[in-house]
């Protein structure tokens, strides 16, 4: 069956250019930045969905949300939660690239089904698990339902996004002060005074740009927190008293770990598998999955060892570059 008959559009530059669902930046990202093996993986995931639809005598393109939900529930019988999420990402990107008016993967029904599956199946994998973008999305959807005060929600969202986008260690995150921030039209620069990998104490500057998706914009979240809290100097992330007034001292790195655990538990994941390092780990794994080059990942994470970054890349690509796929997809 040809790409045209299977409606795979991520290799179709004309369809991408005509798509009204993708921004110019998104189109450029797909056409220029995605590694060929990533497109191959997306195509493999899309073909799996099409084959499932053919077997069940339902339409793959265009698809209705109920078809997506039935597909992922069948997947849940044998696939892990991260595999299911990756499949949905691939299918969703292909629908967007096609220019179709309604992407079925974006429906509330599909999001509810995904959350239910993740609660049922539990954690992603053994060991300290990375928090990925899709986890943050679920957390942000759940936050308003938890009955927490606005000041706590604003602080915690800023902690999660700055920790993730800046790939900070928890000790670095707790030590950020107003004096170490420099805002510009491009974003924010954060001076890290010292770190585990910087034994001489020379420090480093971490740049976090504005992003178009305001829900994931760490700079906007940080500004919203500083504006609401009225913090003008000293530590930017602080604890609360029993009456929910803001302390003058910095939040402890242990408290940051507890914040992470609280929110992953709220979306049905096992908090024992997560910690503050899940934010840093999650950024590196996500960047690797999106094909970001080693040196650019290292610039943001401030790793001095290529070996650790390659571990994240290997983790992100363990399905993309899997030799089994190479063997059987060519038969």
Given 87, 118, 157, 169, the catalytic residue: 169
Whether residue 118 lies in the annotated active site: no
Given 87, 277, 281, 302, the catalytic residue: 277
Question: Which of 252, 210, 246, 219 shows the shortest CA–CA distance to 231?
Answer: 246
Contact partners, residue 204, CB within 8 Å, separation at least 6: 191, 192, 195, 198, 302
Given 86, 87, 302, 303, the catalytic residue: 303
Whether residue 304 lies in the annotated active site: no
Given 155, 280, 281, 302, the catalytic residue: 280
Given 196, 227, 247, 304, the catalytic residue: 196
Whether residue 280 lies in the annotated active site: yes
Question: Which of 297, 282, 281, 285 shows the shortest CA–CA distance to 135?
Answer: 282
Catalytic residues: 169, 196, 277, 280, 303, 312
């Amino acid at each position: 069956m040809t790409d045209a008959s299977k409606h795979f559009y991520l290799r179709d530059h004309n369809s991408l250019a005509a798509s009204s669902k993708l921004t110019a930046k998104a189109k450029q990202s797909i056409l220029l930045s995605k590694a060929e093996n990533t497109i191959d993986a997306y195509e493999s995931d899309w073909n799996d969905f099409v084959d499932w639809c053919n077997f069940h005598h339902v339409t793959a393109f265009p698809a209705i949300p109920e078809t997506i939900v039935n597909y992922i529930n069948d997947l849940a019988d044998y696939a892990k939660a991260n595999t299911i999420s990756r499949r949905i990402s691939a299918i969703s990107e292909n629908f967007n690239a096609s220019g179709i008016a309604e992407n079925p993967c974006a429906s509330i029904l599909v999001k509810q089904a995904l959350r239910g599956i993740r609660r049922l199946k539990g954690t992603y994998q053994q060991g300290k698990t990375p928090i990925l973008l899709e986890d943050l999305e679920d957390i942000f959807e759940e936050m308003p339902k938890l009955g927490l005060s606005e000041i706590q929600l604003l602080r915690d969202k800023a902690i999660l996004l700055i920790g993730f986008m800046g790939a900070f260690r928890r000790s670095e995150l707790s030590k950020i002060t107003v004096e170490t921030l420099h805002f510009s039209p491009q974003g924010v620069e954060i001076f890290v005074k010292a770190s585990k990998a910087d034994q001489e104490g020379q420090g480093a500057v971490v740049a976090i740009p504005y992003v178009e998706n305001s829900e994931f914009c760490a700079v906007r979240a940080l500004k919203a927190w500083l504006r609401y809290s009225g913090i003008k100097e000293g530590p930017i992330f602080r604890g609360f008293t029993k009456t929910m007034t803001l302390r003058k001292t910095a939040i402890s790195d242990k408290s940051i770990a507890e914040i992470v655990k609280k929110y992953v538990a709220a979306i049905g994941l096992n908090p024992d598998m997560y910690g503050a390092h899940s934010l840093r780990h999650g950024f590196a794994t996500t960047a690797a999955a999106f094909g970001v080059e080693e040196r650019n990942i290292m610039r943001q994470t401030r790793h001095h060892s290529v070996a650790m970054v390659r571990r994240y890349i290997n983790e992100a690509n363990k399905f993309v570059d899997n030799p089994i796929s190479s063997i059987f997809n060519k038969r």
